[in-house]
Structure 1
Amino acid sequence: MSAATPARLAGPPGAEPPGAEPAGAEPAGGPAGEDRQDEAQRQASGSTLFGRGLLYVVVAGAQLVSSAFASPVLAHVLGDPAALGTLALAVSLHQLLMAVVLLGLDHALVLRFAQDGHDRAARSLAGAALLVATAATSLVWVTAGWWGPVLGFTDRPVLLLTVLWTVPTAGVFVALGLLLAADRLRPYALVTLLSAVGGQVLGVVLVLAHVQAAGPSGVTRYVSGLLVADAVGAVVGLCLTRPRWRGALSWPALAPAVAFGVPLVLNSLSGFVLNAGDRIVLQRLTGPAEVGRYQIAYTVGYVATQVIGLTSSTWTPRFAAVADRVRRAELIGATRDTIYRLLSPVVLGIVLGAPVVLRVIAPATFEPAGLLAVVYVVVLSAYAGAAGSASGRMLVIERRTRLLAVVSVAVAALNIGLNLVLVPFWGILGAAVATLLAFCVQSTAQRWCARGLGAFPRAARRVHAEIVLVSAVAGATVLLPQDPVTNGVRFALALACLPWCFVLLRRVRRAV
């Protein structure tokens, strides 16, 4: 997101750029190779991951924060629910296209860089990824008139801008992948802020500049702002990373990367269904009002799981650079246990603070008092997410992406089935329970698939005991009354969880 030495992404000998290590070769022995592995293990240690490595997570999370601030502004400025629906549809299409057009090559180049120790082959994969994404986007553009109306796009300018937006975003993804693998934090932060934060700011400014003519035209301006910012970020990022174009589409070198990346495309699409399937079932069985209530509760409770997803994508190169499978498994297991412990104050704090937060972000018509149980169930999925992130990371590093894809498809189907069974009885709480169960099944299945891939340790009993205790205490607070005084006390206790989290984090960063 680990039985035999993992197959490298490179093709047969001779497909490598001059001077590159042969495909499948382990790091060279001798002092240089040992020094490189010592440095790799240090970079994958808890003290580094939760120090400098955590800065990458913070930077990557800037998009979540900027989107959270932009969403209510857009809701008030656009005004028209139909315009908001068009914008949501455009963003969903963009996410879908980004999951497909790169063929997973953006993930492949990160892993290739980490395991090679140099960027020559990775930069060639970067060039290939950009060419493939441009070709795929061109095909989507040409055929947009056929499939656009089927998906509900009645505004053609928004549709075409959304498709065009794919190309610069692909450039940003590729550049960020190379910068992440090379551990270039400042350029990584620059490109992220230009594209993610800059896009939200520019989009909102363009909408506010013509606030009297909001509605559908406001959506066009907002998407235009996102496109322009991503284009700037892509140009800066690609100038900093310099993808290689010569031989980029050499099939002997490209084929293993495609074989690695395509299952990740299916994995991403299944994840898309996993996250959206419950809304689809709720829409059909309970109506749009309940979907809106569920979305509010899900947004509050899902924050922790989103952050864990960011750690998986930003930390994978550090673990991939560790050649010793047993040591790598131990490091991944130790990091997973640390995340479990850091989740304790986060889970408890979110549940304690949710009654106040829900009343701030949702009007009374959403009946926020009835959403607390949903927040509690959703936030518990962060524990399963941490487990699945660890086993998924091992499977990716060991090139077992097909197994990941199979598990993801099965879990997405299971989630739909569980929603169909539970929603008629428990409503939106049933949808939350279905999501939690799906995440638990996914983490269990991935753990089973990762058996034998190094000595992947189980969490200590005291860690499991802490998870059970915190979950029980948080669940008990859900049963308390939600009057103003009680909610005020809860919120104060939620704020008190912050020092707890900081103390734990400080201990990890000081560890050797």
Structure 2
Amino acid sequence: MTVPPQTRREAREAREASAAASAASSSASSDAALGAVDTGSVAVRKGANALFGRGLLYVVVWSMQLVVSSLISPVLAHLMPPAEFGVLASAIALYQALVVLAVAGIDQASVLQRAEDGDDRRARGLLAVGMVTASIVTVVALTTIPVWADAAGFIGNHPLLLVAVLWTGPAAIVQISLALLVAQDRIKVFAVTSLLSSIGGSIIGLGLLTLVHADATTYAWGGVVAQGVAMVIGIAATRPRLAGLFDGATNARAFKLGIPIALGNLSYFVLNAGDRVVVQRLLGPEEVARYQIAYVVGSAVILLLSFTNQAWAPHFAALRDAVARRQLAMHSRDELYRMLAPVLLAVTLVSPVALPILAPASYRVEELTVVVFVVAITAFPVVASGATGRLLLVERRGVAVGVIAAIAGAVNIGANLALVPLFGIAGAAIATVVAYVVLAAMQLFVLPDRREWRGPGLRIVLPVLAALTVAAASLFVPQDVFWNWFRIIGVLGCLPWFLRRLRAARGGAS
């Protein structure tokens, strides 16, 4: 059948119109995809600049307590007998565990609440709730000291425990206040409150130790005084909203997230401090003192990373685009890996030089370099778990975070019980590494968008492995004046490497 020319023309025009529409649609889709990629790249660049720029200011302030503890520890080690210094380290570890319970995850819940609301009203209400919770935990702990003190290994040291518990309430309220101040980006009042709570306690305690009596209980009173003053400043700056005590829906939601986080943080305490409890029970307080000195040096990087997680939490909570948030988490993880390479190498190289300064010869410091190296390695799984943990918390997966941390804590205790009798305090360091690897692996497993998650590439892995190899090899080099000069030169050489990686991280580039 013959088709009229007009019909053929109309059909041809229809096909051309359809092709044009298809091309336009394809172009629009392509432009949209490119736009999404560009938007994600911009978000990563802006986020990286915020995290590694102003965000690091908060890390620096928080890390001052690390600097002070590193300086104070050798002084305390020289002023106190090893057994007294060891029991002080155990009491501080116990105090840190009580603070975790007293905070009850309200600090993280308030940060997320503020990010979701866009204002401070309900977050300030949660601060009031946190104050009440901290007070209740402190009172319960005080009244039950006779029940649990001896079982915890503090036989005859109940006065020290009394001071450590009194330290708890103000410290918990300060921690919640600091979290809200970071979310509000109030660096000045944050710095004053944070520095007073950390540096102030050490300075006052050292003064009391020198002028009154050289024992652990006297030193601990300095922390109580400093935390009390910092608590007053934090409350005045954040203005807790008492009406929040009666906001049942918000409080229920906060505790639903916060209690699993608190249990998880308690497990983190087990990861970070439970080894000292096991060492004290199996090897005695003198070995706790030796392990504490090595741990102060080796865990410096781990503590910095924990401060980084606290300082970065509001940035991730405020980033509502899930894709951009995931990309920023991977980018920040990779950049932290790159920066860890020179830092871990420097820590290992400097340890034979620093340890004789930090502790007297009776601590057998030449044997502690291996412990420092093993503890420092823990920083790598800490970075991995930090990246996935931030995403899980923003998505309010508190139960998953808490359960995983509890499992990792149990692994740590079990590994300590198995390895400490075999390898001494080095076994405690190995157990910590194993537990954090388990933690990182399990958090990655429960990540909802695991298929979109990418591991670090060879450009990141190879420099890290090279740094680890050199650091491990340095353990076999003699610890004398001649070789220590080479170690110092190596430490100085790590500084420009670190600064170059920091500049690259701030620019969001690879």
Q: TM-score range by the shorter chain?
A: 0.7 to 0.9
Give the Cα–Cα distance (whole angstroms) in 1 for the partners of residues 306 and 320 of structure 2.
Answer: 24
Give the Cα–Cα distance (whole angstroms) in 2 for the partners of residues 157 and 132 of structure 1.
Answer: 24
Identify the match of residue 433 of structure 2 among 433, 436, 440. Answer: 436
Give the Cα–Cα distance (whole angstroms) in 1 for the partners of residues 132 and 287 of structure 2.
Answer: 43
Aligned partner of 1:499 in structure 2 is: 496
Structure 1 pair 374/224, CA: closer, same or farther in 2 (3 Å)?
A: closer
Q: Could you report, residue by residue, the CA deviation over 1:425-484 in whole angstroms, capped at 9, with x for unpaired residues? A: 444333322222221121111111114168333222211222222222222222333332
Aligned partner of 2:129 in structure 1 is: 128
Give the Cα–Cα distance (whole angstroms) in 1 for the partners of residues 377 and 137 of structure 2.
Answer: 38
Identify the match of residue 193 of structure 2 among 191, 204, 218. Answer: 191
Q: What does residue range 57-76 of structure 1 map to in structure 2 within 5 Å?
A: 57-76=59-78
How big is the shift at 1:319?
0.8
Identify the match of residue 169 of structure 1 among 168, 171, 193. Answer: 171
Q: What does residue range 10-49 of structure 1 map to in structure 2 within 5 Å?
A: 41=43, 45-49=47-51
* Runs of 5+ unmatched residues, structure 2: 1-38
Q: What does residue range 195-274 of structure 1 map to in structure 2 within 5 Å?
A: 195-210=197-212, 213-215=213-215, 219-274=216-271
* Runs of 5+ unmatched residues, structure 1: 1-36
Q: What does residue range 83-482 of structure 1 map to in structure 2 within 5 Å?
A: 83-151=84-152, 152=154, 154=156, 157-210=159-212, 213-215=213-215, 219-283=216-280, 285-286=282-283, 288-452=285-449, 455-482=452-479
Aligned partner of 1:9 in structure 2 is: none
Give the Cα–Cα distance (whole angstroms) in 2 for the partners of residues 86 and 225 of structure 1.
Answer: 17
Structure 1 pair 73/425, CA: closer, same or farther in 2 (3 Å)?
A: closer
Q: 1:315 is aligned with what amino acid?
A: W
Structure 1 pair 370/222, CA: closer, same or farther in 2 (3 Å)?
A: closer
Aligned partner of 1:5 in structure 2 is: none
Q: If the length of structure 2 is used for normalisation, what is the TM-score?
A: 0.85
Q: 2:270 is aligned with what amino acid?
A: V
How big is the shift at 1:388?
0.9
Q: 1:362 is aligned with what amino acid?
A: A
How big is the shift at 1:256?
1.0
Give the Cα–Cα distance (whole angstroms) in 1 for the partners of residues 448 and 98 of structure 2.
Answer: 33
Aligned partner of 1:3 in structure 2 is: none
Q: 1:320 is aligned with what amino acid?
A: A
Identify the match of residue 52 of structure 2 among 30, 50, 65. Answer: 50
- Runs of 4+ residues over 6 Å off in structure 1: none
Give the Cα–Cα distance (whole angstroms) in 2 for the partners of residues 142 and 431 of structure 1.
Answer: 32
- Asked if 1 retains the 8 angstrom alpha-carbon contact of 2:353 and 2:484, the reply is yes
Q: How many residues align?
A: 470
Give the Cα–Cα distance (whole angstroms) in 2 for the partners of residues 450 and 413 of structure 1.
Answer: 21
- Asked if 1 retains the 8 angstrom alpha-carbon contact of 2:378 and 2:433, the reply is yes
Further displaced range: 492-501 or 295-304 = 295-304
Q: If the length of structure 1 is used for normalisation, what is the TM-score?
A: 0.85
Give the Cα–Cα distance (whole angstroms) in 2 for the partners of residues 206 and 309 of structure 1.
Answer: 30
Give the Cα–Cα distance (whole angstroms) in 1 for the partners of residues 359 and 76 of structure 2.
Answer: 15
Larger Rg: 2
Q: 1:63 is aligned with what amino acid?
A: Q
Q: 1:198 is aligned with what amino acid?
A: G
How big is the shift at 1:147?
3.8
Structure 1 pair 286/226, CA: closer, same or farther in 2 (3 Å)?
A: closer
Give the Cα–Cα distance (whole angstroms) in 2 for the partners of residues 440 and 57 of structure 1.
Answer: 24
- Asked if 2 retains the 8 angstrom alpha-carbon contact of 1:340 and 1:383, the reply is yes
- Asked if 2 retains the 8 angstrom alpha-carbon contact of 1:153 and 1:159, the reply is no
- Asked if 2 retains the 8 angstrom alpha-carbon contact of 1:45 and 1:331, the reply is yes
Structure 1 pair 161/429, CA: closer, same or farther in 2 (3 Å)?
A: closer
- Asked if 2 retains the 8 angstrom alpha-carbon contact of 1:199 and 1:230, the reply is yes
Further displaced range: 62-71 or 280-289 = 280-289
RMSD over equivalenced CA pairs, Å: 2.6
Q: 2:455 is aligned with what amino acid?
A: R
**SS of aligned partner of 2:243:** coil
Aligned partner of 1:10 in structure 2 is: none
- Asked if 2 retains the 8 angstrom alpha-carbon contact of 1:128 and 1:249, the reply is no
Q: 2:496 is aligned with what amino acid?
A: P
Give the Cα–Cα distance (whole angstroms) in 2 for the partners of residues 511 and 274 of structure 1.
Answer: 32
Aligned partner of 1:11 in structure 2 is: none
- Asked if 2 retains the 8 angstrom alpha-carbon contact of 1:385 and 1:443, the reply is yes
Structure 1 pair 260/290, CA: closer, same or farther in 2 (3 Å)?
A: same
- Asked if 2 retains the 8 angstrom alpha-carbon contact of 1:46 and 1:335, the reply is yes
- Asked if 1 retains the 8 angstrom alpha-carbon contact of 2:127 and 2:241, the reply is yes
How big is the shift at 1:358?
2.2
How big is the shift at 1:185?
0.8
- Asked if 2 retains the 8 angstrom alpha-carbon contact of 1:301 and 1:378, the reply is yes
Further displaced range: 336-345 or 436-445 = 436-445
